[in-house]
Amino acid sequence: MNASASGGDSAAPVVVAAPASSKSPALRLKVEQASYAYAATDRSAPKFTLGPVSFEAREREVVAVLGPNASGKSTLLRLLAGMAKPLSGRVEVNGEEVSSLDARTRAQRIALVQQESELLFALRVWEYVLQGRYPHGKRLRFESDEDCLLAGNALAQVGADTLRDRWMDELSGGEKQRVILARALAQQPSLLLLDEPTQHLDIGGKLELLRRLRCLADENRYTVLVVTHELNLAAEFSDRIVLLHKGKCLRAGPPAEVYERELLAEVFEAPLEVEMRANGRPRVVLTGTRE
Amino acid sequence: MRPLTPRRVLGICALLFAVLFAAVVISLRMGAYPIAVSDIVTTLINGTLGRRDQIPSEFWLVIFGLRLPRIALGILVGASLATSGAGFQALLRNPLAEPYVLGVSSGAALGAILSLIFAPHAPGAIQIAAFIGAGATITVVYFLGRRGGQLDSPTLLLGGIVAASFLSAAIIFLMTTLSGRDLRGMAFWLMGDLASAPLIDLRWLYLAMLIAAGAIYSASSDLNLILTGEKEARHLGVNVDRVKLVVYISASVLTGLAVSVSGAIGYVGLLVPHVMRMLFGTDYRVLIPTSAIGGAILIVLADTLARTIVAPTELPVGAMTALAGAPVFIYLMRRRVR
């Protein structure tokens, strides 16, 4: 299915792009019965388990991972990013198992955008974005002109061109989010993962970010996977939804298939209605407090 | 956008080498027997070209016999301590981390004293013992500084301070109870000075310093990313565990070899990297070499002051660096560094 890309910085140059592929959208991400378990020590019983999760995503697709707190969203993201090896099953990006890739190759293919830890020493925005070129660099990794061009284009793509000489610690929440995204784009990944990127943004910022991700997926042929709590934005901008609850994957598919009133009401423990809009995308409306 | 280039790094280093050379000339000039700058330069040139017969014997004695060996020792110690401080700051993600504050220097000093007690004549034993002392201390402080699986900055510093005072007490105990033996003075181990010539050929120490500092330099682009966060560095493809191991070992070697020949000189690892950051930016690819040269400049100048300011009495060089370093430490503690 094809989602409507409404708005964004379409005028920005498209140099930051994934490698070209055949005409039909290529399969980018394949998650096959992947599961995981956390334990405090090797011998103790697992504290949290993520049951087998399966779904696929093609290039230019936006996938939203939904679920209440402690449903396993971050764990799934760790598996997809190759930070943890699945207990069973497989996670493949471009046909290669993620956990078997070495760290640099993985960083060339997968970029993960998280809430950033505080910087120890202040950096300029351009210095920060250039860090995204690290996985492509050589020994000591002095940046080339091409690296600068790609970092500049990444900043342009997120509409943060004017911020390049600012200090990172002077940026507002929304500006910082864009710069962090630009660093991920400078990695030239084929899979872009975002962990609750809308968390500290106001409603306008959330909308703008999701629009931008939609555009990036379309223009750069990325596969974008977003972990979020925003049910309506996810329904509006994503091609697939993965719904997690208490470590289990309840459903994975297009928004219209996943958004069922009873299912969502039970998972999020909130009284709600699901309306189908004219564009075929569902909308969730809260109906008041539960009796 | 003006990314760092190898050319710029070399240019900055050349500039600092010129400053270091000036500091060396100043240090050679000053003392109980003053020598004119022109004589120093002529003596140095003749000495380098092997024309000893053209050098007056008193110049030869003062420059090549007394002052230059001490300066060479100062350069080694300053470069080692400053590089190791810059390394610890990135690894522990703490701008106040440095060997003296973290107790690593005291650990190295204790190791060195123990080797003087148990193996006084074994060549290189003091350096190896100082390295083991440094490595053991930073390991203990690292685990003391962890809370809930994460390194906690204030806890880490408190752990370091506690370790430093415990180890200093152990040093004082050993020095007091074994006062009849030749263990050098208590002030040497607690404050540091460059007055006593090392028991080992300096060339070996320079070789070890270059290898250890080179190892840290080879990881400098990884350290840049570790500074922005370990998790982020992993995601960007840094082999964080390997980098940490290399830098921990190298920084401990540097601290160990500096302390083994000069005692525990404080604050060099704090002062120098911060000044270099202010001058040339936070990029470790320029910070490591500039810190090494800057550390050398600082120690050469501080030692010149230490031996001339209240001449004929000599102050320990560690007293001079602490006088300058303690206020900077407080300043940094109260203000985030840009």
Chain centroid to CA A73: 11
- Beta strand pairing status for A88-93 and A62-66? unpaired
Q: What is the mean pLDDT of residues A184-202?
A: 88
Quickly state the pLDDT bin for A225 (edges 50, 70, 90). very high
Give whole-number Cα distances, A28 to A133, A183, B84, in Å.
Answer: 22, 21, 44
Confidence of residue A286 (pLDDT cuts 50, 70, 90): confident
Output the pLDDT for position A289: 57
What pLDDT, on the 0 to 100 scale, is given for residue B180?
67
A68: pLDDT strictly greater than 50: yes
Range with the poorest average pLDDT among A193-202, B184-193, B271-280, B323-332: B184-193
pLDDT over 90 at A27, yes or no: no
Q: Using a CB-CB distance cutoff of 8 angstroms, which residues of chain B are in contact with residue A139? A: 218
Nearest to B184 by CA among B249, B130, B251: B130
Separation in Å, CA of B311 to nearest CA in chain A: 41
Distance from CA of A4 to the nearest CA of B (A): 31
Q: Which tokens sit at B85?
A: 């401080």
* CA distance, residue B283 to nearest chain A CA (Å): 9
Q: Copy the structure tokens of residue A253.
A: 């598919």
Q: Which chain B positions have a beta carbon within 8 Å of A135's beta carbon?
A: 236-237
Predicted confidence (pLDDT) at residue A1 exceeds the cutoff of 50: no
Percent of chain A with pLDDT over 90: 32
- HSE (side-chain half, CA atoms, 13 Å) at A72: 25
Residue B15, pLDDT > 80, answer: yes
For residue B312, whether the previous peptide bond is cis, meaning omega lies within 30 degrees of 0, is yes
Interface of B with A (CB under 8 A): 1, 3-6, 89, 93-95, 218, 220-221, 224-225, 227-229, 231-232, 234-239, 277, 282-283, 285, 336-338
Q: Is the pLDDT of residue B338 over 80?
A: no
Distance of residue A268 Cα from the nearest chain B Cα, in angstroms: 30
Question: Cα B173 vs. chain centroid, distance in angstroms?
Answer: 25
Question: What tokens appear for B286 in the block?
Answer: 């320029």
Q: How many CA atoms lie within 13 A of B254 on its CB side?
A: 37
| pLDDT greater at residue A8 or residue B179 | B179
For chain B, say whether A155 makes contact (Cβ under 8 Å): no
Alpha-carbon torsion angle B291, B293, B294, B296, nearest 10: 120
Q: Which residue in this structure is represented by tokens 């263990």?
A: B183
The pLDDT of residue A137 is above 90: no
DSSP for A206-219, please give it: HHHHHHHHHHHHHH
Cβ contact B20:B12 at 8 Å: no
Average pLDDT, whole number, for chain B?
Answer: 88
Tell me the whole-structure pTM to 2 decimals: 0.85
Can you read off the two tokens belonging to residue B324?
Answer: 């300058």
Does the beta-carbon distance from B282 to A141 stay under 8 Å?
A: no
Angle between helix B240-262 and helix B220-227 axes, rounded to 10 deg: 110
pLDDT at A91: 92
Residue A15 has pLDDT above 70, yes or no: no
Chain B environment of A108 (Cβ under 8 Å) = 237
Highest-scoring range by mean pLDDT, A21-25, A65-69, B19-23: B19-23
Residue in B with minimal Cα distance to A81:
B235
Average pLDDT over every residue of B299-325: 88
Taking an 8 Å cut-off on Cβ atoms, the answer to whether A117 and B285 are in contact is no
Using the predicted structure, report yes or no on whether residue A276 has a pLDDT greater than 80: yes
For residue range B31-76, list pLDDT tens digits in order: 888 888 888 888 888 888 888 888 888 888 888 888 999 999 999 9
Q: Residues with Cβ < 8 Å from B13, sequence gap 6 or more?
A: B289, B290, B293
Query: For A6, which DSSP code?
Result: -
For A228-263, the pLDDT digits (tens) are 988 999 999 999 999 999 888 899 999 999 999 999
Q: Which residues of A touch B235 (CB under 8 A)?
A: 81, 83, 107, 111-112, 114
Across A185-194, B57-66, B265-274, least confident range: B57-66
What's the pLDDT at A42? 64
Share of chain B above pLDDT 70, in %: 97
Q: How many CB pairs under 8 A join A and B?
A: 87
DSSP string, B132-159: HHHHHHHHHHHHHTEETTEE-HHHHHHH
Taking only the tens place, the pLDDT of each residue in B71-123 is 999 999 999 999 999 999 998 888 888 898 899 999 999 998 898 888 877 77
Q: What is the DSSP letter of A167?
A: B
